Structure 1
Amino acid sequence: MGFILAARFLILGSLIALPAHAAPELKKPPYWASISAGKARTRTGPGRNYPAIWLYQRRGLPVRVIETFPAWRKIEDPDGAQGWVMSNLLTDDRTAIVRGGMQALRKQPGLESRVTFQVEEGAVGHISKCTAGWCRFEVDGKGGYIETAHLWGVGRGEVIE
């Protein structure tokens, strides 16, 4: 009987002492994300009991997560507006929005590279291969390289594979 009781305590103790990585890890803010839902409501605080302040209706819009609270993220949008959104309405997919008027997308990174097409200010697209001040930017099935200075959604000097 004593052996069975001791075995139960050992099993119970091992369940309580699970490693920290067993729980989902949160990224440390600030970090980039994008809106994954067709509609995402922001609130004044981290909970449904707080008043709604804005309704985003643009899937893929890049946002900067500046604070976390268990199932909520405080975000900043490209215009600088801030609010709390449920974390399941965000994705880690990297997107960016074009700033500074019409911009050229180039075949390769560098001003000497051929222009493949133009994108308007406000265009949202997926980014990849960011290095040395340039990112691969894809929108509506077309892609090219754009200077990061003309994008909101990528940090200065950030490298993305």
Structure 2
Amino acid sequence: MRSTVLKSCLALALGFVLSAGTAELGYAQAAKGPSGLPLPRFVTLKAKRVNLRIGPGTDYAASWMYLKAGLPVEIIQEYDNWRQVRDADGTEGWVNQSLLSGARAAIAAPWMKGKGKSVFVNMRREAQPSATVTAKLEPGVTMTIGECNGDWCFGKTDGAEGWVAQSEIWGAYPGEAFK
């Protein structure tokens, strides 16, 4: 019992210390972690079942279990083979790096979930606001994204594909461009 309490306290202290360094960064990718990759950065869950732990190790309790591969998460810190991640709801915890993939995905406007049936994110044929709408995505829909140009991301979901405004997804930083 005492060692469990001690581990929990150490995990909270470690999380606080490590999080303090990323608080100054906001969402700008200005730092590199021990892996040499930028922090923060988006990745996806590789496995169907992923435990989110309260600390960086299997000795720490699981606080949550994700049951969907391909879900985007944001890596905010690294420690050994463990990554502290944040999901679209703001939940944070630790995941072993072997359960993460560099593939990119996004969630359509998760902050609009439950705001009403008339709220949709438009997927368009081209990366411009006047382009033809190819699909209307409900908030919370997950899509794979293959590229972003800083304003728009090209995504695919359930047979639909097209461009979505980067400001209407969670899974790519404002102004971030990649192919």
- Give the TM-score taking structure 1 as reference length: 0.81
Matched, 1:57 2:75: no
1:34-82 deviation line (CA, Å, top 9, x unaligned): 1010010011100111111000011111100011111110000000110
Range moving further from structure 2, 84-93 or 120-129: 120-129
Structure 1 counterpart of 2:13: none
Q: Distance in 2 between matches of 1:28 and 1:144?
A: 27
Q: Does 1:96 align with 2:135?
A: no
Q: Which residue of 2 aligns with 1:80?
A: 90
Q: What SS does the aligned partner of 1:73 have?
A: strand
Q: Which residue, 46, 55, 61 being the options, matches 1:45?
A: 55
Identity %: 33
1:82-113 Cα deviation digits (max 9, x unpaired): 00011111000000000134111110011111
Q: Structure 1 unaligned segments of length 5 or more: list them.
A: 1-23
AA of the residue aligned to 2:48: G
Paired residues of 2:84 and 2:92 also in contact (CA < 8 A)? yes
Q: Which of 106, 130, 134 is the matching residue for 1:116?
A: 134
Structure 1 consecutive aligned stretches of length 4 or more whose deviation exceeds 6 Å: none
Are positions 1:147 and 2:165 aligned together?
yes
In the alignment of these two chains, the number of paired residues is: 138
In 2: Cα distance, 1:135 partner to 1:107 partner: 11
Partner of 2:9: none
Look up the SS of the partner of 1:96 in the other structure.
strand
2-structure distance, mates of 1:152, 1:30: 14
Quote the Cα distance in structure 2 between the aligned partners of 1:46 and 1:27: 18
TM-score, structure 2 as length reference: 0.73
> In the aligned structure 1, how far is the partner of 2:124 from the partner of 2:38?
34
2:148 corresponding residue in structure 1: 130
| Post-superposition offset of 1:149 | 0.8
For the pair shown, which has the larger CA radius of gyration, 1 or 2?
A: 1
